[in-house]
Amino acid sequence: MHVLVTGHTGFKGAWLTLLLKQWGHDVSGLALDPEPGSLFETAELSQLLVEDVRCDIRDQNLVRETFAQIAPDFVIHLAAQPLVRASYSRPRETLETNVMGTLAVLEALAVTPLARGALLITTDKVYRNVGQLAGYIEEDPLGGTDPYSASKAMADILIASWASSFPGIPIAIARAGNVIGGGDTSQDRLFPDIVRAFKADQSVRLRYPDAVRPWQHVLDCLSGYALLMDALVDGQGEGSWNFGPVDSSLKSVRDATELAARLWPSAKGWEIEDTVHPHEAGILHLESSKARINLGWRDSLDFTAAIEWTIEWEKRVSHGESPRDVTLEQISRFLSLTGDAR
């Protein structure tokens, strides 16, 4: 199957590209240029693509032309402005990218009549966060207090209303968050910040050490997306789906940082970043029984293993191993755990 991935030059997109290739799919991509030093760049993933198109997802005409030219069998939409803190400094860009960019993709699907389905990715932050300890289910109200969360909630509502108003290609929404793994170079995300500090022989500076997050390895998240893709191709799976880890992976930022430090021999530990920061949620958790029961999805890497695999990747690459080789080795190991050779 020929899969078109938007946002393929980002962290998740790079891992997804290699995972889809491992399963024998052809992959094309539409995205902005990769960030310097990103996994897409260092693993030289452009070599693996049928088409590698540079395009701002807000460019409605170019997005439509690209979809029509590539004529994919399936579309996975990842392209976004994905950072909460960046959304405070760039609210218009965030809203335009995440809402109007999603609209551009939905409209472009109209010129891909041979496509067998489309999976559009939002986030766990689409839910109206009231600080509840129980995980949010797919039917819970959407909201968003910061520009990023609000933009993704808007996109989520747009996708659902579009699928209802203009039936055609099967469409599903996947919600996940706090994904970790090797090769993430994003700014203002915990594990890239941890790795940068460790490599510089500095203490990690934490904004909210007691904030609780559902830590999930990128491969567990992407395996859920793949199962949902298969369901759509088989004529099932439309609607919204959560992909969050089990309750035991709900741990504080402090817990995650201290485990990472134990795995990096020269780590300096952490300290509080004593400045004023924009609001961030204290706790956010997804209830994913729907995916577990209906898709057979499950976590293969718990909290400890997810962090161990992330730090292992970073250490191996820092010692000179090829980013592509290390990523492919971890994908093969993960597929052996899940028994999903396809």
Mean pLDDT confidence for 48-65: 97
pLDDT at 338 over 90: no
Domain tally for the chain? 1
Mean pLDDT of the chain: 94
Q: Average pLDDT in the 115-128 region?
A: 96
User: Mind listing the pLDDT tens digit for each residue in 179-227?
Assistant: 999 999 998 899 999 999 999 999 999 988 998 889 999 999 999 999 9
Per the structure, the complete domain to which residue 269 belongs is given by 2-338
pLDDT of residue 113: 81
Q: What is the CA radius of gyration of the chain?
A: 19
pLDDT of residue 166: 93
Read off the pLDDT of each residue in 67-75 and give the average, rounded to a whole number: 97
For residue 173, pLDDT beyond 60: yes
What CATH number has the domain bearing residue 69? 3.40.50.720
Q: pLDDT tens digits, residue range 149-165? A: 999 999 999 999 999 99
Determine the pLDDT at residue 281: 60
Tokens 């990218």 sit at which residue? 97
**pTM of the shown model:** 0.95
Structure tokens at 147: 């520009």
Per-residue pLDDT at 324:
98
CA 84, distance to chain mean position in Å, is: 14
Whether pLDDT at 341 is above 70? no
Is the pLDDT at 176 greater than 60? The verdict is yes
Q: Between 248 and 34, name the one with better pLDDT.
A: 34
pLDDT over 90 (residue 308): yes
State residue 163's pLDDT score. 96
User: What's residue 149's pLDDT?
Assistant: 95
- Nearest of 169, 162, 177 to residue 221 by alpha carbon: 177
pLDDT, one tens digit per residue, over 254-301 is 999 999 999 998 888 898 887 755 656 667 889 999 999 999 999 999
Q: Work out the angle between the directed axes of helices 11-22 and 323-338 (0-180°, nearest 10).
A: 60
Instruction: Give pLDDT, residue 266.
Output: 86
